[in-house]
């Protein structure tokens, strides 16, 4: 009897949950369709500009997103002078103040590393395994060997660029997912949630956009960037990051009358480059091991510069790397006494982990939402930074959630229909997890 009773209870529960699921109306536009529209808009940012946004074309996407947010029914939609889009999706609880306002943030710009103009997205329907050769440059191959994640994507529709540009999944995937979240919530008032703050930012790839972010105006207590990779991962740790600029100053004269006069700074810059420890470079490190990375520079007779990224998960590791650079500078200086060499170091962002520990529910809720979406959650430390690293340091705790995208900043970038849809599902669960915990 008892068993029979619980049997009926289970059947009832099943029917009930199937009923709930069936009641979720699809969004007006699918995440994939949105994504394919957004990647056509060139939003590449540029290094070393004095303005935010670094490229005016980022306004093209900002304006479109603001208009779409308004059309979806979001409130207080606005675009700042720096091209940051803000909006609020009002909660539908009896008292929204009992639930923390949570924010979702993605960035609009694409990496300066590879062109993002005329992106020709290719859909590899019903992927059946094997390497994916990109049609317009057959040397660009997404191999299963380097992308084992492909093994779990059989039957999915994989989206790539054509081999001549990046795809822009980083981070138009995040934008399409957040927009589809808003769309789905608007279609489904029965899904209960608190206030949700939305923002789309410029210049994440060049690091300037977030400086203009209005945390107060955004209105979130906690936030998530949706800018990660494999579904299931929750990034609660980033590099602590500094950039060193080493300037070599010599003396320029006309080469025809340079004897005994010219001091060519390019040679000192060249000497400095030979001093980098080979076991401490991005190309020789992985996992939790940090690096120093000379990534851009200028050569000229009078003045040459080399910029160096310093990255480590721990501040002490970062300090040690800075000390190594100082020794390298001193050694080059000793070899080229007629030159002036100076090094300036700027802080870029700090590992968010220490700050996030104070608010464990932020990561816990993301893990729970991941589970509800049928995925196995996994905490991940990213060998990079996000806008959330900076926001967390400024008082808005902001871990990073996955987008389904892979191979950021290159021509081999890809995402998939399921990658986009799973993320939307996880975000839908996340807003409900917060609402359920309302007191
Ligand atoms: Zn990104």
Distance CA 308, CA 242 (A): 9
Residues 6+ apart with CB under 8 A from 332: 248, 268, 271, 272, 275, 341
Q: Separation of 204 CA from ligand 1 center, angstroms?
A: 7
pLDDT at 354 (0 to 100): 85
Distance CA 280, CA 392 (A): 27
Q: Separation of 74 CA from ligand 1 center, angstroms?
A: 24
Q: Encode pLDDT of 212-245 as tens digits.
A: 999 999 999 999 999 999 999 999 999 999 999 9
Q: Can you list the residues of the chain whose pLDDT is less than 50?
A: 1, 15-16, 18-20
Residues with catalytic function: 109, 204
Q: Separation of 164 CA from ligand 1 center, angstroms?
A: 20
User: pTM surpassing 0.85?
Assistant: no
Distance CA 119, CA 233 (A): 27
Q: Separation of 384 CA from ligand 1 center, angstroms?
A: 10
Contact call for residues 234 and 366 (beta carbons, < 8 A): yes
Dihedral, 104, 106, 108, 114 alpha carbons, nearest 10: 180
Distance CA 139, CA 144 (A): 15
pLDDT at 438 (0 to 100): 79
Report the SS3 class of residue 152. Answer: helix
pLDDT at 19 (0 to 100): 45
Q: Separation of 268 CA from ligand 1 center, angstroms?
A: 35
pLDDT at 3 (0 to 100): 56
pLDDT at 23 (0 to 100): 79
Q: Separation of 62 CA from ligand 1 center, angstroms?
A: 16
Q: Separation of 400 CA from ligand 1 center, angstroms?
A: 10
Provide the sign of the torsion angle of the four alpha carbons 359, 179, 238, 323, taken in this order: negative
pLDDT at 8 (0 to 100): 56
Residues 6+ apart with CB under 8 A from 309: 241, 242, 243, 291, 292, 293, 295
pLDDT at 1 (0 to 100): 46
């Amino acid at each position: 009897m008892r068993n029979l009773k619980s049997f009926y209870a289970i059947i009832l529960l099943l029917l009930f949950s199937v009923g709930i699921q069936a009641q979720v109306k699809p969004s007006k536009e699918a995440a994939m369709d949105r994504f394919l529209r957004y990647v056509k808009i060139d939003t590449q940012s540029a290094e070393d500009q004095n303005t935010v946004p670094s490229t005016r074309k980022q306004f093209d996407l900002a304006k479109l997103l603001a208009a779409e947010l308004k059309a979806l029914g979001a409130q207080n939609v606005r675009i700042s002078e720096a091209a940051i889009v803000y909006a609020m999706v009002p909660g539908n609880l009896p008292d929204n103040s009992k639930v923390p306002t949570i924010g979702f943030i993605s960035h609009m710009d694409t990496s300066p590393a590879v062109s993002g103009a005329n992106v020709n997205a290719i859909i590899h329907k019903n992927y059946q395994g094997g390497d994916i050769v990109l049609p317009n440059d057959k040397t660009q191959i997404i191999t299963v060997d380097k992308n084992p994640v492909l093994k779990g994507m059989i039957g999915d529709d994989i989206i790539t660029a054509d081999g001549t540009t990046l795809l822009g999944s980083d981070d138009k995937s995040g934008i399409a997912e957040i927009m589809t979240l808003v769309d789905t919530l608007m279609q489904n008032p029965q899904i209960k949630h608190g206030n949700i703050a939305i923002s789309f930012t410029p210049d994440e790839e060049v690091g300037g956009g977030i400086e203009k972010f209005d945390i107060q105006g955004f209105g979130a207590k906690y936030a998530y960037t949706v800018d990660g990779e494999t579904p299931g991962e929750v990034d609660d740790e980033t590099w602590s990051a500094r950039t060193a600029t080493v300037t070599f100053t010599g003396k320029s004269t006309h080469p025809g009358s340079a004897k005994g006069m010219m001091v060519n700074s390019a040679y000192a810059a060249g000497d400095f480059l030979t001093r980098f420890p080979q076991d401490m470079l991005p190309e020789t490190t992985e996992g939790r091991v940090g690096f120093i990375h000379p990534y851009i520079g200028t050569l000229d007779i009078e003045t040459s510069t080399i910029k160096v990224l310093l990255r480590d998960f721990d501040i002490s590791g970062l300090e040690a790397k800075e000390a190594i650079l100082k020794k390298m500078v001193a050694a080059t200086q000793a070899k080229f006494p007629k030159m002036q060499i100076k090094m300036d170091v700027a802080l870029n962002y700090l590992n968010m982990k220490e700050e996030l520990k104070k608010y464990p529910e932020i990561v816990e809720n993301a893990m729970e939402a991941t589970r509800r979406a049928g995925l196995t959650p996994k905490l991940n430390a990213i060998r990079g930074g996000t806008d959330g690293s900076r926001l967390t340091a400024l008082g808005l705790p902001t871990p990073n959630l996955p987008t389904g995208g892979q191979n950021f900043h290159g021509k081999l970038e890809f995402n998939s229909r399921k990658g986009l849809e799973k993320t939307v599902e996880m975000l839908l669960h996340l807003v409900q997890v917060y609402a359920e915990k309302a007191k």
